[in-house]
Amino acid sequence: MVVVVVVASLALFALLAFGPFSIFYSNPLVTCRQAEQVPQLHFLASRRHRFPATKKGEESCLGDRPLEKDSNAITRGGNYFQSMSMASSSFSGSGNALMWFRKGLRIHDNPALECASRGVTGGGFLYPVFVIDPHYMEPDPRASSPGSSRAGLNRIRFLLESLKDLDLSLRKLGSRLLVMKGEPGEVLINCLKQWKVEKLCFEYDTDPYYQQLDMRVKDYASAARIEVFSPVSHTLFNPADIIQKNGGRPPVSYQSFLKLAGEPSWASSPLMTIFPSLPSVGDVGSSQIVEVPTLEELGYVDIEMELPPFRGGESEGLKRLREAISNEKWVATFEKPKGDPSAFLRPATTTLSPYLKFGCVSSRYFYQCIQDVYTRNKKHTSPPVSLLGQLLWRDFFYTVAFGTPNFDQMRGNKICKQIPWNDNDELLTAWREAKTGYPWIDAIMTQLHKWGWMHHLARHCVACFLTRGDLFVHWEKGRDVFERLLIDSDWAINSGNWMWLSCSSFFYQYNRIYSPISFGKKYDPNGNYIRHFLPILKDMPKEYIYEPWTAPLSVQTKAKCIIGKDYPKPMVSHDSASKDCKQKLAAAYELNKKLNGVVSEEDLKVLQRKLDATCDSVLNPVHSHSSSGAKRQRRS
C-alpha cells in the first residue's frame, strides 16, 4: 500500500513538474503541441551541436536541452498558422513582450511581431528592440575599404536606412524602435531582466552566428521562465522539415530539394497582417536607448563614396517588389541565366536580394506575388530558371547549409571536394582591388565596391576567374571578400554559390570556364559597362575595350590610358592559366575519387607540390600578351 502511494505521488509530482501542466516551466505553447510534432522537437533541440546525423555512432538527434523549453519548435510542424493561433490564444496576456528585430526588418508578414503584439493585453507593454553590435558596425581602420571588419560601408548604410524605415513604421503604429548598442546577447538579457519581460519573440535564424546567440538567450529565458516564440519566416520552408523528410540528410541537388519541398503550407493563406496599432512601449528604466544612428555618428567621417542605387528599408523593398511584379509578362517569362549581366542602368533581375537578406521584404510574400502572376498567366517559365525558381534556389542553399557541418569551409565539409587551392595574397589582392588587368573582371569588382551588388552572371565570372578559371585561389578567400562587401551578403547563399562556381560542390564541369574577354563582349560589345565602372578606359576604342593591352601605343595615348601605367597589364594569360587550372582540377578530382573523399591535408600538400612543378603560369604573372591579344597586336 505504502509503495503504491509513493509511486502515485512520484508520478503526480513528475506530471506537475515536467508534464504539460508543469508548475516549474509554464509554457502554454508546448501544451498545445500535437503528438506528431514531438519528433521534430527532438530534432530541433540538437542545434547546440551542429546537425543531427542519423547513422549509428554519429551525433545524436537528441540534444542536451529539455524539449519542453524550446517553444520555437511550435512553428516547425507544417502548418504555421495553426501554430500561430495556438500561440496567441495561449498567452496569458498580462505581461510585457519584447520583439527582438535582427533580420526580418519589416511589419508585413512578421509572425514574431504579430505574436508579440497579440500577447500584450491588460496593461502590458511591447518593447521592439534592435541591438547594434559594434563589431559589425563600427569603422575598422585596418579594413581594406571603408566599413567595419565584417561589413562594407554600403551594407552598413543599407542596414541603418532599413532601421530608420522600420522605426518610422513602428511610430505610425504608436510604437518605436528601441536601438541599443553592445554585445547583443548581453544587452538583450539585460532588457529581459530590467523590463520584466514575459514573452520574447524573434524570427528564427539558421545562421551559425544566430544559432549560438539564440541558444544563449533562450537558455536565460528558459531559466527565467520567459516564453520564447521564434517562428520560421525568413525562408519559404523550414530547412529542418526538409531535412527531416529526407531522413536527416540535406538534399544536395536542387531537383531532390524541389521534390521534398513541394508546396509551402501557407501558399494560399493571407500573409499580410494589418496592425491598426501596436501596444505602447513601457518605461525603459536605465537602458541606454539611442535614435537610429547616422553613419557619421558611428564614426564614418570624411568618406567620399558614390551612393549605390539601393535605399534600405521595407518601404523601398515593397515598392521595388510591386514594380517588378507589375510587369506580368516579364515575371512569367523570366528565365535565368538569360539576361544581361552588364545591364546596370536597368538591371536584368529584380535586385531584391538586399531586401530579402535583411528581411525588409518577406520571401513568402514575394512567392505569393509571383504565384498570383502565374495564376493569371498560365504559360510561364518553371524552376530552376523561373523567378519562383530563384526563390527556391535561396531555400535550397539555406537547407543544405543548415544540414551540412562546416558548410562554410572546405575542410571537414562532406559535400566539398578537397582541392589544393593556393593562398597567394598578391593574386587575391589584385582581384579584390579590381587590378587584374582584365577590364570585364575589374569592372565587376568595381561594381562590388561601389554598389555592393552585381548581376548573378557577373558574380559567376569573377568567382570563376579567382578560383578554377585563372588564379586558382581558395574559394573561401573570395567568399570572404563577397561576404564583407555585398549588401545582400548571405551566409548560406554565398558559400553555396562559391562552392558551385569553384566546382567544389553542386557543379562539377570544370572544363567550362568563363572567358574574361569574350563572355562580357557577347552582351555588351561596346563595353558600356566597363566604361561606366572603369572610367580610365572610357575612351578606349570598342575593339580594344576588353583587351586594352593589345591596343597600339598610339591608340592608348589617344585614349589617355597607357597599359601598365594607367591601367594594369593582365596579371595572367587566360589561355595558359585556365589550361593549368583544368589540369589541377582534374588531378584533384582524381585524388578525391581515389581516396573516396577522405583527403588529408598531407595528401593535398603532396598533390600541390606535384602540380606546382608542372603548372606555373598562375604563380608567375605574365607580362606577355595572351594568344588572342598577341594575334590582335600583330594585326594592328
Ligand X SMILES: Cc1cc2nc3c(=O)[nH]c(=O)nc-3n(C[C@H](O)[C@H](O)[C@H](O)COP(=O)(O)OP(=O)(O)OC[C@H]3O[C@@H](n4cnc5c(N)ncnc54)[C@H](O)[C@@H]3O)c2cc1C
- Which of 115, 332, 486, 563 lies at the binding interface for ligand X (CB under 6 A)? 486
3-class state of residue 567 by DSSP: strand
- From CA 165, how far away is CA 110, in angstroms rounded? 15
Q: Report if residue 482 touches ligand X, rule: CB under 6 A.
A: yes
CA atoms within 13 A on the CB side of 547: 23
The distance from CA 468 to its chain's CA centroid, rounded to whole angstroms, is: 23
- Which of 83, 230, 351, 381 lies at the binding interface for ligand X (CB under 6 A)? 351
Q: Which of 114, 86, 75 is nearest to 265 (CA)?
A: 75
Q: Report if residue 206 touches ligand X, rule: CB under 6 A.
A: no
CB of 169 to ligand X, least distance (A): 22
Cell of 538: 572610357
Has 91 been labeled as part of a binding site? no
Site size toward ligand X, by CB under 6 A = 28
CB of 402 within 8 A of CB of 239? yes
Nearer to ligand X, 65 or 459 (CB): 459
- From CA 76, how far away is CA 84, in angstroms rounded? 11
* Residues in contact with 361: Cβ distance below 8 Å, sequence separation at least 6, in sequence order: 106, 314, 317, 318, 320, 321, 352, 355
Nearer to ligand X, 257 or 498 (CB): 498
CB of 162 within 8 A of CB of 103? no
- Which of 460, 474, 531, 584 lies at the binding interface for ligand X (CB under 6 A)? 460
* Residues in contact with 249: Cβ distance below 8 Å, sequence separation at least 6, in sequence order: 54, 243, 403
Nearer to ligand X, 456 or 582 (CB): 456
Candidates 370-378, 434-442, 458-466, 531-539 — which segment interacts with ligand X by CB under 6 A? 458-466
* Residues in contact with 606: Cβ distance below 8 Å, sequence separation at least 6, in sequence order: none
- Which of 151, 356, 427, 445 lies at the binding interface for ligand X (CB under 6 A)? 356
Phi and psi at residue 148, in whole multiples of 5°? -90, -175
Has 390 been labeled as part of a binding site? yes
Has 490 been labeled as part of a binding site? yes
Nearer to ligand X, 217 or 391 (CB): 391
* Positions in 488-547 near ligand X (CB under 6 A): 488-490, 493-494, 497-498, 501
* 131 strand-pairing partners: 180
Has 394 been labeled as part of a binding site? yes
Nearer to ligand X, 451 or 482 (CB): 482
Nearer to ligand X, 75 or 386 (CB): 386
Has 395 been labeled as part of a binding site? yes
**Peptide bond just before 384 cis, omega within 30 deg:** yes
Q: In the stretch 390-429, what mask flags binding to ligand X with x, by CB under 6 A? A: xx-xx--x--------------------------------
CB of 558 to ligand X, least distance (A): 37
- Which of 245, 456, 538, 582 lies at the binding interface for ligand X (CB under 6 A)? 456
CB of 236 within 8 A of CB of 390? no
Candidates 28-36, 172-180, 350-358, 529-537 — which segment interacts with ligand X by CB under 6 A? 350-358
Has 396 been labeled as part of a binding site? yes
Give the DSSP H or E segment for 127: strand 126-132
Using only the alpha carbons of the chain, give its radius of gyration: 27
Annotated binding site: 349-353, 390-397, 488-490
Query: Which residues here bind ligand X, judged by CB under 6 A?
Result: 336, 349-353, 356-357, 390-391, 393-394, 397, 455-456, 459-460, 463, 482, 486, 488-490, 493-494, 497-498, 501
